[in-house]
């Protein structure tokens, strides 16, 4: 059950924003094999001068088409799966006019005890939901 935050530079049309969210979710479905309704996304648009994303010394420039994605998910996925997810997200965003240098992704992992889906309860640890991958 990933929780995804997508940060964009302000200026895209609403249909473009939705297409980015849809493409990101499709990559999660394809690679992580999650249920389709496990969709939890927050999309935030920022003024251009409120986003700083350099190249970390890799030798490329980013544009105002930058998409920064944080994926909060349960631990346990292999490095290979994460790399495939990174690749698939970038591949899904490319037809939307977002080039590879403008795709920045980070994964934050935690455990089933760290999630509440409502009512102030921990549904994984209380047994209401099956823990993914177990």
Active site residue 95: no
Looking at the chain, which runs of residues are DSSP E strands?
Answer: 3-9, 40-46, 67-74, 103-110
CA dihedral 29→44→113→126, nearest 10 degrees, is -70
Q: How many whole angstroms separate alpha carbon 102 and alpha carbon 53?
A: 9
First to last CA, the chain: 13
Task: From the candidates 2, 35, 95, 112, give the one annotated as an active-site residue.
Answer: 2
Question: Which residues are known catalytic residues?
Answer: 2
């Amino acid at each position: 059950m990933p929780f995804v935050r997508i940060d964009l530079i302000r200026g895209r049309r609403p249909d473009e924003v939705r297409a980015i969210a849809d493409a990101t979710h499709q990559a999660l479905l394809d690679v992580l094999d999650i249920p389709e309704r496990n969709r939890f996304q927050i999309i935030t648009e920022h003024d251009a001068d409120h986003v700083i994303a350099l190249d970390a010394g890799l030798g490329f420039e980013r544009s105002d088409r930058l998409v920064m994605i944080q994926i909060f998910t349960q631990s346990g996925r292999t490095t290979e799966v994460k790399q495939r997810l990174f690749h698939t997200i970038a591949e899904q965003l490319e037809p939307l006019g977002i080039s590879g240098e403008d795709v920045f992704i980070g994964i934050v992992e935690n455990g089933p005890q760290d999630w509440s889906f409502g009512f102030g309860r921990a549904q994984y640890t209380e047994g209401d939901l099956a823990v993914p991958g177990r």
